[in-house]
Amino acid sequence: MKRIRLGVLFSYIILFIFAVITVFPFIYMILGGLMSFQETTSIPPTLIPHHFEWSNYATVFARAPFGRYFFNTVLTASVTTIVSLFNSLLGAFAMVNLRFKGKGLIQLVLLSLLMVPGEAIIFTNYNTIAHMGLLNTYVGLVLPFLTSIFYMYYLQSYFGSISDTIYKAAMIDGASDWDYIWKILVPMSKGGLFTVGLLSFISGWNSFLWPLLVTNEDTMRLLNNGLSAFASDAGSETQLQLAAATLTVLPILILYLIFRKQIIKGVVRNDLKG
């Protein structure tokens, strides 16, 4: 009896330690962003600032165009999300509900491409974008991401779980494919589409390597590139770096905490099937 209780206690301690390790960087980031320079470099380290230096944020905005970064990031993440969702929706509909020659081949090609790591093609894509003269443009930032095999595959499994007699019923009711997609498929898959949208937006928000490649003008930078450039420039001013990091993380963290159920469910679902 006693041994079992000890085991449980031990488990709780481990869980607690790891939970702290996971959460601590976030808390420390927010607190550190409100410290004074002295506090960030003090030994022993400061945990809670004496006085919240909100002015750090003003300094960050004054030193680098974070407003512009925000705008760029929201714009590109939204456009990629909406357009790739739209394309995946149409593609997944065709793969699930229509019968045509070559479907098996398409499926095979798409599944194989799913295995190719993005890093293997990102540099040649840079080449393409450069050839098109689209460096430092919004179009260049979003173009390769306007379709997503991954999300299309996800939606396929989502649509596949809708009974195919629903599609047949719609055909008999006189609905066109377009009617079916917008009046039946989309409303019936709201949850799935929303989850895919969220995941896509989050990954757009956190994108780094691609924008690093195709932009070098400050006005075209996305949040993470801006942040990393700012971190280099701010050198040893850790409190400013942390304030800027907080700016980058907080919006998405809030989004996450609001929609945590959908997001986690979405991640579990698409990966167990994959």
Partner 1 sequence: MKTNQKKAWLFLAPTIIFVTLFSIYPILRAFGMSFQGGSLIDLHWNGFSNYQYIFNDPEFWLAIKNTVLYAVISVPVGLAISIMLAWIIFDKVKHKSFFETTFFMPYVTSTIAIGIVFRYIFNGDYGMLNFLLRSLHLPAPDWIDDPAMSLTTIIIFGIWSSLAFNIVILMGALRNIDPNFYTIADMYGASGRDKFWRITMPELVPTIAFLLTMNVIGAFKIYTSVYALFNGQAGVGNSGTTAVFYIYNKFQIVGTPGVAMAATVILFLIILFATFLQRKMMKKVGEN
Partner 2 sequence: MDNNKFVEVKNLRKVYDNGHEAIKNVSFSVKKGDLVCLLGPSGCGKTTILNMLAGLLNPTEGDILFNGKSVIKVAPKDRHIGYVFQNYALYPHMTVLQNVMFPLIVGANKKSKAEAKEIATKYMELTQITELADQKPGNLSGGQQQRVAIARALVQEPQILLMDEPLSNLDARLRLKIREEIRSLVKTVGITTLFVTHDQEEALSIGDKIILFNDGIIQQDDLGQNFYLEPNNYFVANFVGNPVIDNFKVTKTANEIKSSQFTINLADMEQSRFKRELPDGEYVLSVRPENIVPDPDGLFETKVDDIELIGRERILKFTFDNQQVRSLINLEAPIKHGDVVKLKMRLNRVFLFTPEGERVY
Six-digit token string for 274: 């994959």
CB closer to partner 1, 12 vs 52: 12
Q: Which does 273 bind (CB under 5 to 8 A by kind): partner 2, partner 1, none?
A: none
Q: Which amino acid is at 34?
A: L
Query: Which CB, 74 or 177, lies closer to partner 2?
Result: 177
Q: Report the alpha-carbon distance of residue 269 to residue 174 in Å, rounded.
A: 33
The residues in 186-225 that bind partner 1, with binding defined as CB under 8 A, are 202, 205-206, 208-209, 213, 223-224
The answer to whether 266 and 213 are in contact (CB under 8 A) is no
Alpha-carbon gap, residue 183 to 163, rounded angstroms = 16
Bond before 44 cis per omega within 30 degrees: yes
183 binds partner 2 (CB under 8 A): yes
Scanning 49-57, 60-68, 118-126, 154-162 for contacts with partner 1 by CB under 8 A, the matching segment is 118-126
Name which of 104 and 117 has its Cβ closer to partner 2: 104
* Closest distance of CB 148 from partner 1, Å: 9
Burial of 64 (0-12, 13-18, 19+ CB in 10 A): buried
Least gap, CB of 180 to partner 2 (angstroms): 9
Coil, strand or helix: which one is 190?
A: helix
CB of 103 to partner 2, least distance (A): 11
Site residues (vs partner 2, CB under 8 A):
163, 165-166, 168-176, 179, 183-184, 187-188, 190
